[in-house]
Structure 1
């Protein structure tokens, strides 16, 4: 009995400690270009706007084969709105989000087939995607005319350029005083032509896209988080009960 109660107390305490440790773990930028933290907003308005932008700008080349259009009803988009505004001509509400572009054509145009974005957030991370979509710049040496600071020499063009406008990247050569080695350092972007959105509005729009991609990668994540809170509270209560039972059991034992 003693061993059982002690194990229960230790297991409950360890589970709670581990959960809090994982929840508070800091986000580290990848080596190279630093990553900005993606906004955490995941309200319905943000998800709906992100879904609209995703269908209009991303779904032309990137598929989301694990997501059905009908699943958008879970974020408050009515079936009629999906049919009238988010479906392509031959698609139906029950279809998955696939694209008409052929793999051979995609490889010829972009150098590789655009990846499926169903679980891209889980593969890359929210911060990576948020920074990536805000780090395109004009580069006439590239086949598409665009380059990216997070993913140098990427084959993808800047599909959101009309929203953000056109920018160039500014670099400067720096010589190390000790070693004499030269480095070509990025110092910032320079706006060439304005977009239809202001910089603040564009960052918010990208945040909405990332929020939608995050939701799409795991539509039940909000439910999982809510349930997780109750599980942690249950484990905390179980730890307290096991601790007091253990103390009561051994209080008269000398």
Structure 2
């Protein structure tokens, strides 16, 4: 009986999970952001706009020193939801309130850039597309929808920066399904373009740059050691190649005397 209850619960949530994962919207390639200035700007955007609802419980504020920030700069500009620089990036919102307001607990963003990687693109590509494809949709409870995450429950928290845009759809013939009565292809809604309704504080180019910085930070946060790892990687390869050469020479010298 318990097994049947669990199975029914899984089946009940299956459509929602499929909806969350299912989107054929093409992903834009995220610009690479590795400079300290870009990552610092991304950290500022993350703390001011994302950390209100989304925690990053695997990251401590003092790790931002790796981005060239001093402890005083972190305290004055980025430490809003904690008292000490050594604390984790948690939020004050309770899971109960989150479920009441949003219908679910907002996911932890510590490793979101790695978790969203798929065959369609990297996690950075997904996040870069996702953050830029919110549009006004009055049929949704929050008034917003998203092309990369259809029927999303999250509101567009960056709308003041981007402005308000709507999505224009056109009806086209479905190449895979036909109407059983007429035999003609079924009509489906296809995304055509975004239309700007009201401007934001940033131009489109500026907003895209800001989102690239934010995604760069999220990508860095998923693996803070990656910058150092990539920097020492070529030296490690060179050392191993040199060691292999010496080992080959030693082996040749040893077996030279063996007949």
Alignment of 1:1-254 (within 5 A): 32-88=24-80, 91-124=83-116, 125-176=123-174, 179=178, 180-241=185-246
How much has 1:234 moved relative to structure 2?
A: 2.6
- Partner deviation per Cα, 1:1-33 (whole Å, 9 max, x = no partner): xxxxxxxxxxxxxxxxxxxxxxxxxxxxx9611
The Cα offsets for residues 198-218 of structure 1, whole Å up to 9 and x where unpaired, read as 111101100111111111111
Gaps of 5+ in 2: 1-21, 117-122, 179-184
- The count of corresponding residues between Structure 1 and Structure 2 is 225
| TM-score normalised according to structure 1 size | 0.81
Q: 1:171 and 1:244 mapped to 2: Cα distance? A: 67
By relative contact order (CA 8 Å, sep 6+), the higher-ranking structure is 1
Q: Distance in 2 between matches of 1:183 and 1:235?
A: 56
**Root-mean-square deviation over aligned CA pairs:** 2.2
Partners of 2:77 and 2:220 in 1: how far apart? 20
